[in-house]
């Protein structure tokens, strides 16, 4: 009985989070937030003291519903907030988004993944899960910039990987890729 009640509560939370994310995406598309990093930076800065909150929301959403390229939003964060706070806000938002993707797939299973990931891509990662190479692939995919880490977070939810191991890999490996995204604008966009 407790499990059913918990499952209903989690389903309701997920539903409302999904609705909120959908409305945010519609808003972002209507306001052309995702067309250019400069539009995104200007919009972020206009929120003043609330800008970090909205940026964290954007980073969380971009993992769950990858409309904005991750590199672009990471770069926008560094340009809008500077290297230290840009890195920090990117890290927090992406870790939250990664956990949400993991949690969503763990809760709703492979039937959801079949709707959001191309069939051939999903089959490739399911093959990794079956061959026991997935944890290494996940580790490297989170560590290296440019890897499909959003997809890896979703697939990890059905892989049997424990939440503790998932969080450990995310928290320890995410900074390397983010450091590269944070240092790039400082040293190469001057």
Sequence ranges of the domains in the chain: 2-188
Instruction: Indicate the pLDDT class of residue 153, thresholds 50, 70 and 90.
Output: very high
Instruction: Indicate the pLDDT class of residue 94, thresholds 50, 70 and 90.
Output: very high
Percent of the chain, pLDDT > 90?
A: 23
- pLDDT tens digits for range 47-69: 888 889 888 988 888 888 766 56
- When pLDDT is averaged across residues 170-175 and rounded to a whole number, the result is 93
Number of Cβ within a 10 Å radius of residue 107 = 14
Residues in CB range of 160: below 8 A, 6 or more apart:
129
**Distance between CA 21 and CA 13 in Å, rounded?**
12
User: For the whole model, what pTM was predicted?
Assistant: 0.76
């Amino acid at each position: 009985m407790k499990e059913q009640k918990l499952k209903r509560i989690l389903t309701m939370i997920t539903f409302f989070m999904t609705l909120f994310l959908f409305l945010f995406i519609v808003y972002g598309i209507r306001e052309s937030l995702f067309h250019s990093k400069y539009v995104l930076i200007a919009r972020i800065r206009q929120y003043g003291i609330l800008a970090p909150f909205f940026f964290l929301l954007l980073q969380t959403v971009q993992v769950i519903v990858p409309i904005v390229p991750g590199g672009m939003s990471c770069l926008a964060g560094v340009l809008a907030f500077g290297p230290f706070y840009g890195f920090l806000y990117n890290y927090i938002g992406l870790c939250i988004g990664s956990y949400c993707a993991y949690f969503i797939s763990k809760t709703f299973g492979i039937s959801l993944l079949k709707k959001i990931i191309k069939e051939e891509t999903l089959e490739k990662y399911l093959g990794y899960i079956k061959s026991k190479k997935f944890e290494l692939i996940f580790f490297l995919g989170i560590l290296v910039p440019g890897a499909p880490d959003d997809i890896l977070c979703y697939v990890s939810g059905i892989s049997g990987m424990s939440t503790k191991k998932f969080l450990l890999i995310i928290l320890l490996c995410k900074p390397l890729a983010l450091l590269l995204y944070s240092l790039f604008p400082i040293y190469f966009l001057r």
